[in-house]
A and B are shown apart, each in its own frame.
Chain A
Amino acid sequence: EDQVTQSPEALRLQEGESSSLNCSYTVSGLRGLFWYRQDPGKGPEFLFTLYSAGEEKEKERLKATLTKKESFLHITAPKPEDSATYLCAVQAGTSYDKVIFGPGTSLSVIP
């Protein structure tokens, strides 16, 4: 069964304390892994797409990496404004109903 899990469920960091969020997936025929950021009361905001193992993408303090079984979102020297829920989603096959979202990691960055 296709599945996406994320860990940890919640993460509390001090400002400047780097860490990583994990997204593990079991799907056949990966056609894209997507990272989103979601702020309270808002819709998910697209961050990155990764298509193949070994690929990396960066944006400001965020860096996403992909292996054959998981993806990591590395946060370097986070700031309080990085506090949000980070969602991972995986698309398999060509059917557009095959986007599977993980439950998310709630990140809090304390000043």
Chain B
Amino acid sequence: DAGITQSPRHKVTETGTPVTLRCHQTENHRYMYWYRQDPGHGLRLIHYSYGVKDTDKGEVSDGYSVSRSKTEDFLLTLESATSSQTSVYFCAISEPGTGASNQPQHFGDGTRLSIL
């Protein structure tokens, strides 16, 4: 199994509070991603990182920010949580592709976040 640890695994919080989720990898992979998974929507990309301090927005980035100060850690922050951000959040990692081929992403086991 890819060495990806997400913390916390479960969290319940109230609307308006800040929340930070952590993803830690031991694989030294260059790319890291944050997804959310909701019924009827599948996996949707929130933000990704292609190196330390290099990040970019994904499909559903509004209300989320990220930081990557070390290769192994990628943090996802909800500045002021809303009920619409109740979801399961997954972190993924991958290596750069070669030529015309891309490498697969490997996923952590997720954080189940409930915002009341």
Residues of A within 8 A of B (CB): 31-32, 34, 36, 41-46, 49, 51, 87, 89, 91, 94, 96-97, 99, 101-104
Contacts and interface: CB of A to CB of B under 8 A. Distances in A.
Tell me if B's interface is mostly helix, strand, loop or mixed.
strand
Given A44-B90, A96-B50, 19 more contacts: A31-B97, A31-B102, A32-B101, A32-B103, A41-B110, A42-B109, A43-B108, A46-B106, A49-B103, A51-B100, A94-B97, A96-B33, A97-B56, A99-B45, A101-B42, A101-B43, A102-B42, A103-B42, A104-B42
A42 to B, nearest CB: 5
B31 interface: yes
Interface of B: 4, 31, 33, 40-45, 48, 50, 56-59, 90, 92, 94, 97, 100-110
Contact of B101 (A41, A43, A51, A103): A51
A87 B4 CA distance: 20
Contact of B102 (A44, A91, A101, A102): A91
A41 B58 CA distance: 24
Contacts of A41: 109-110
Nearest to A101: B43
Contacts of B59: 97
B100 A43 contact: no
